[in-house]
Amino acid sequence: MTESTIAIIGGTGLTSLNGLEITRREVMHTPYGEPSGPLTHGVLAGRRVVFLARHGYGHTIPPHRINYRANIWALKNAGIHRVVAVAAVGGITREMHPPRLVFPDQIIDYTWSRGHTFFEEDLSHVTHVDFTHPYDEGLRQALIQGARGIGIDAVERGTYAATQGPRLETGAEIDRLERDGCDLVGMTGMPEAALARELDLAYATCAVVANWAAGRGEGAGEISMEEVNRNVSQGMDNVRRLLETVIPTL
């Protein structure tokens, strides 16, 4: 059986992975502090994988307090080469309706004060990393083809707005994001994607549209947590089906 080279980072609604035969849990200590939790090693669809719950296994770490550097460093040092990042998001543009899956191809970073790079201390030279295409296209296409193959309703491209959180956005902020060209909004896409690029990890996001963003959708009223939970539950069922299909092909 192939060694673990694939990691799945679970977001809201995916703190565990049904179908994962757990073989061991590994506590990692990093130069950047503690990750969100132990790395869960296991077998999914006949392939060794590593699972990490981004918000902690009890979903207790808010987006702005996640130690993204520790998480990505830990995965890299566990021998990971590919990362499928699962995230719950809000839909901005018309086709981003709940509970669709989306495989974004671009991202805009609106976060601040997060540890966003490995290249800042004890450098022999200044390091710049190309981020023109923030998601690995090969991995993104594998997710797209997997979704097509099992008939999942998915959007195959879009721009992800990464906001600070933990509060949700105002209607005016969502209007601004749409003017900037954003299609969906979440709180964990950055600096996770950029840190993965700095460590040469192939990284792609599978986003579940949990709700219409502020001021969007029918009625454009307040965002209902009951509706969010219902959409996340339905969307994550599709994510699990997708992972079981795609993981053996990677």
Contact assessment for residue 185 and residue 89, using Cβ atoms and an 8 Å cutoff = yes
Q: What is the mean pLDDT of the chain?
A: 91
Phi, psi of 244 (to 5 degrees): -65, -25
Characterize the bridge pairing of strands 159-162 and 101-102. unpaired
Q: Give yes or no for a contact between 91 and 211, defined as CB atoms under 8 angstroms apart.
A: yes
Q: Which amino acid is at 246?
A: V
- What are the DSSP calls for 147-173, one per residue? HHHTT--EE---EEEE---SSPPPHHH
pLDDT of residue 155 exceeding 50, the answer is: yes
Q: In the structure, what pLDDT confidence band is assigned to residue 3 with cuts at 50, 70 and 90?
A: low
Q: Which of 225, 181, 230 has the alpha carbon at shortest distance from 208?
A: 230
Which of the 8 DSSP states describes residue 226?
H
Does residue 219 carry a pLDDT above 90? Answer: no
Residues near 64 by Cβ (< 8 Å), separated by ≥ 6?
A: 111, 113, 114, 164, 165, 166, 187
| pLDDT score of 73 more than 80 | yes
Give 4-14 pLDDT, tens digit per residue: 689 999 866 56
% pLDDT > 70, the chain: 94
Residue 249 scores a pLDDT above 50: yes
Look at residue 198 in the predicted model and tell me its pLDDT: 97
CA pair distance 230, 248, nearest whole angstrom: 29
Among the residue ranges 37-41, 116-120, 129-133, 205-209, the one predicted with the least confidence is 116-120
Q: What 3-state class would DSSP assign to 75?
A: helix
Looking at residue 79, its amino acid is G
Across the range 58-83, mean pLDDT stands at 95
C-alpha of 30 from chain center = 21
Residue 57 has pLDDT above 70, yes or no: yes
64 is in an annotated binding site: no
- Annotated binding-site residue? 112: no
The answer to the question of whether 55 is labelled as a binding residue is yes
Q: Looking at the predicted structure, is the pLDDT value of residue 116 above 50?
A: yes
Q: Known binder of ligand: residue 12?
A: yes
212 is in an annotated binding site: yes
Q: Where residue 2 falls among pLDDT bands split at 50, 70, 90?
A: very low
Displacement of CA 219 from its chain's centroid (Å): 29
Residue 197 has pLDDT above 60, yes or no: yes
Q: Mean pLDDT check: name the lowest of 11-15, 20-24, 117-121.
A: 11-15
Residue ranges of domains in the chain = 6-249
CA-based nearest residue to 234, from 153, 165, 119: 153
CATH class belonging to 6-249: alpha beta
- Going by pLDDT thresholds of 50, 70 and 90, the confidence category of residue 125 is confident
Whether 51 has a pLDDT exceeding 90, the answer reads yes
Percent of the chain scored above 90 by pLDDT? 74
Which residues share a beta bridge with 85? Answer: 9, 205
Q: Per-residue pLDDT averaged across 172-192, rounded? A: 97
Mean per-residue pLDDT for 189-202?
Answer: 98
Listed in sequence order, the DSSP H helices in 163-224 are 171-179, 192-198
The predicted pLDDT at position 1 comes to 45
Please tell me the distance from the alpha carbon of residue 142 to that of residue 250, in angstroms, as a whole number: 8
What integer is the mean pLDDT of 223-241?
A: 83
Q: How many residues does the chain have?
A: 250
| Beta-strand pair 184-186/159-162 | parallel
Cross-strand pairs, 8: 51, 84
How high is the pLDDT of residue 233?
83
